[in-house]
Amino acid sequence: QLNANDPWWRPLSSVVVGATTAAMSALLSLGFRKVVVEDLYKLTDVLEADRNRPVVTVANHESTVDDPVIWGIMPRRLRWRPEYMRWTLGARELLYMNPVMNAFFALGQTIPTVRGDGIYQLAVEIGLRKLNENKWVHVFPEARVNQEAQLLRFKWGVSRMIMEAERTPIVVPMYFSGMKAVMPLRQNVPVPRPNPFKSTLYVKVGNAMDFTRLIEEWRVSRASLAPEKAALLDREVRIAIAELLWDSVNDLKAESAAKVQALTEIYDK
């Protein structure tokens, strides 16, 4: 039985998280021709600040290996310190397949998620618990790999975590492009195929979002409502937060379009 409060957890988690992130950094250096990261400080400054609030990051989801590959961009000073690295929700059927994989992904700060089980499943409860411990939780709100041009509607699990955390999280949106070429959905052998002569990765971090006022107004409003009306209000606020998150990631996508296109054209020649 693995317990994150046990004294041996941090050193073992530090090894798994640090070694994995270092390996992903090496992969980005050796397996990609060009990696461009814009405004990473907008995330690292929040993580390293003397804060009393947890952190949530949200991003688009291009491939089954987005996590852990994209975290190869994190600076060395944070990689081996699991308290500064993300917890994330990952598909249980893909990750938690045997005792060895269970231990690896648990120590790697991955929460087993059952797709289709909704926003009240155990994974969301664990995510909330981590936020209440002032941790960083990363979510792919599209909830599945999307290699189409348009972002999918964001699911409401992240909205619930933001709404119900004891201290309203600082939310940092992210957008990246390039992983779908490395790990296409439709291939005979599903393995990553980075090309050091062609593969490119672009990552952009957005401005932090503060939902404190919205959450405070929601809590005050629902306190005087009957259960049925409170449930309707909860749903409306979950939808509103999910739409705001979608807009923030989509805005980053639009801002990045010209740079992604230029990067692709340069290295496609």
Q: What is the pLDDT of residue 89?
A: 96
For 177, other C-beta atoms within 10 Å of its C-beta total 22
Q: pLDDT tens digits, residue range 33-86?
A: 999 999 999 999 999 999 999 999 999 999 999 999 999 999 999 999 999 999
C-alpha 210/C-alpha 257 separation (Å) is: 26
C-alpha 259/C-alpha 265 separation (Å) is: 10
Higher local confidence (pLDDT), 189 or 252: 252
Q: pLDDT tens digits, residue range 139-183?
A: 999 999 999 999 999 999 999 999 999 999 999 999 999 999 999
Alpha-carbon dihedral 160, 166, 170, 171, rounded to 10 degrees: -10
Q: What is the pLDDT of residue 269?
A: 56
121 close to 113: Cβ distance less than 8 angstroms: yes
Q: What is the pLDDT of residue 167?
A: 98
Question: What confidence category does residue 125 fall into, taking pLDDT thresholds of 50, 70 and 90?
Answer: very high
Assigned token pair, 37 = 């990261």
**DSSP letters for 181-249:** HHS-SS-SS------TTT-EEEEEE---EE-HHHHHHHHHHHHTS-HHHHHHHHHHHHHHHHHHHHHHH
Which residue in 76, 109, 119, 75 sits closest to 2, CA to CA?
Answer: 109
* Residue 76 burial class via C-beta count within 10 angstroms: exposed 0-12, middle 13-18, buried 19 and up: exposed
pTM of this prediction exceeds 0.85: yes
260 contacts: CB under 8 Å, gap ≥ 6: 177, 178, 202
Is beta strand 55-59 parallel, antiparallel or unpaired with respect to 170-177? Answer: parallel
CA 142 to chain centre: 11
